[in-house]
Structure 1
Amino acid sequence: MEKIQLELGNGLLPLVLNAIGEYILVTMEEPWGFLEEQLTNPPKKVIFNKDTQLENLEELIQREKTGVDYIIGCGGGTSCDTAKFLSWKWEIPLIISPSIISVDAWLCRSIAVRVNHKVKYIGDVRAQRYLIDYELIKKAPKVLNWAGIADIISITSALGDWVIAKENFNEMFDQNIFVTAKEIVQKLMLQADEINQVSNKGIEALIKGQVDEVELCEKWGSARPEEGSEHFLAYCLENNTHDKYIHGNLIALNVLVALKLQREKAVFDYNDLQNFFDRVGIQYQPKNQGIKEEDYKKALELVQDYVRREELLKGLWSLNRVFDEEGEYSIQGILDWIYAF
C-alpha cells in the first residue's frame, strides 16, 4: 500500500505555486483572498464550487476544461473533492493543500459526490503532493478546524458497530485493525488542548490522526473501522432535510448518540467523548447547529429503514431493537438528553 507523504511548513503553498507550471486552482473565497497577493505565478483559472451533486460536477468538467500542468485543491472537503474529480476525469496531476482540516476528504482516494442528495463514493485518485501550510490553516475559523476531529473520533462508534456486526451478523473481523483503530483515537484524545489552540502541534495531531485513519481503512479495504452508525444517521438527516451542516459537528453529536445506544457493546464511554469535545471546543450541540428537534426525531425514526434501503454496513441500526419504549434509551429520551446540551 502506498503511504501518504506530507510536506509541512509555514507559507508552503505560495512557495510551491510560484515554482510550478500552469495550474487550475479549486478553492474557496477565504483562502483565495489570503493567497492571491502572494502569487507571482497566478492560476490559469480559479474555480469556486460549493455543489458536489454529480450532475453539477459533470457540467463543470465540460465547462471549465483548460490545458494545464496541475489541478490544485485548496479548501475544505468540497474544494478538495471537486479538485479530485477534475484530476480524475481530466487525468491531470493533483496537488492538495487543505485550508481547513474539518474533514478527511483531502486524503481519501475516493471522491464524495451526491446523487439525489445522497452521498456516493466514486473514482480513485491520489494527489501527487500533499501540502500542509500551517499559516494557511490557521487563517480558518477555529470552529471549522476543531470539527476535523470527527472523522477520526467516528472510529469510536464505528468500532461498536463492528462488534455488533461480528456478533449478530457474522461479519469478518480483524483484531489487529480493531486495536490499531482504538489507538488512533486514544492518541488524538491526548492532544485536546493543542487542538483547541490550533497550534502547530494540534494541527499535526489532527493531520496524523486523519492520515492514520485513512491508511487503516485502505489497508482493511473499506471504511468499516471509521464509518458506521454516526455517519449513517447524518446521511439520513441530510437526506430528509436537504440542509447542509458542518460535517464534523454533526458527526460528533451522532457519535454521542450512537455510543449511548450501543450500550454494553460500546467500545468507548460517551461521557469521555463528550468531555473531549468540550475541551476541544467542537460545536456538537444540536441547538448550535440549527437542527430542529422534529428533524432529528424523524431521522432517529427512519434511520434503520434508511440503512437497510441503502444497503449500508451492518451495526447498531441493523438490530431489531435499538430504542426502548420509554426512558433514557427511547427516542424521546435521546432527544431530551441531546437538546439539554
Structure 2
Amino acid sequence: MGDVAVGARSGHDGEEHRGRPAESAVPAADSAVTSGSDSGAAEGDRVTDEHSTAEGQGPGGTARTPKKPRSFWKELPILIGIALVLALLIKTFLVQAFSIPSDSMQNTLQQGDRVLVDKLTPWFGSEPERGEVVVFHDPDNWLAGEPTTDPNALQTFLSWIGLMPSVEEKDLIKRVIGVGGDTVECKNTGPLTVNGKALNETSYVYPGNTPCSVDDQGGQFKVKVPEGYIWVMGDHRQNSRDSRYNQSDKNHGMVPVKDVVGRAIVVAWPVNRWDNLPVPDTFDQPGLNAQPAAAGLPVAPQGLALAGVVPVVWWRRRKP
C-alpha cells in the first residue's frame, strides 16, 4: 500500500511539471513546503524538485525570475498607519505630553514648559502621593474665566495622537500636599503642616513667597481630606488658584482621585530645562502619615495567615 501511494503521488507531480512554465512551479513548491498535510514520500519529491532549481534554474532549464520588492511608496502608508496606532496607544496608556499654561508652578515649572505625564501606573491601582506633581481634570470649573486658544486642524490631530500637548482639554497641574485622611493646615505665613508636621518647602516654593497666604479668601485654612480625594497647591503660592481658593465648589476644594490623569515625571521641553520631578525630601519625614497605627493593618492579615499555616504544616509533617 505504501509503495502504491508513493508511486501515484510521484506520477502526479511529474504531470504537474510537464510543460508548465517555471513561474507557476515556484508557488506550488512554496505552498507544498509550508503545508503539513502531505505524506513523507511526497515531501521528499518536492524537496528534490526545489534542489534542482537551487542554482537559479527552473524545471525546464530556464532562468528563475527574481521576486520584485514592494515599492517604498506602497509601504509608506502602512508604516505611517503603524506609527499612528503606536502613538495613540502610548498617549492613551503610557505617557502624554502637557503644556504649562501659567506661572502657578514656578519655579518648578515655567510657562511654556512641556512635561511628560505617567499614565501607566494608575492603571495598576497606583494613587497620587504627597509631594508629587500631578495633572488632573478640572474638578468643578476651576478654569472659569481663563483664556482658551483655538487650535488649527493640524494641532488638533497631533494632540489627539499625543505628539503635541492638548490645548482643548480642561486640565490643571499642581503639587499634592494632602491625601485621604490627612489634616492640612496653614496659619499666618506658615509653615504649612500636614498631620501636625511642618513641611520644609524651601526647595520648591517660589522664592519670596510664604508657604501660607495671609488673606480671608482661603489662604488661611484647616481641612481634613476625605478618602478618595487629594488637596493640591501650586508652588507659586501667591499666584496659584488651587484647592485653597476653590473651597466653595462641590468638592470643597478637593480633587477626586478619579480625575487625576497621572504624575508629571519629567520636563521634556525646552531642551535646556530637561529635568525630572522628584518628590521633595520633606514629604519623607517620619510621622507624616495621618494614622501611623494603620500601617500595621495590612500586616495583620498576613500575620494571621502565617499563624494559621504553621499548625497545618506541623500536622502534615507529623502525619505518617
TM-score (norm 2): 0.22
Higher helix share: 1
Larger radius of gyration: 2
What TM-score do the two structures reach when normalised by structure 1?
0.21
Query: RCO greater where, 1 or 2, for CA within 8 Å and sep 6 or more?
Result: 2
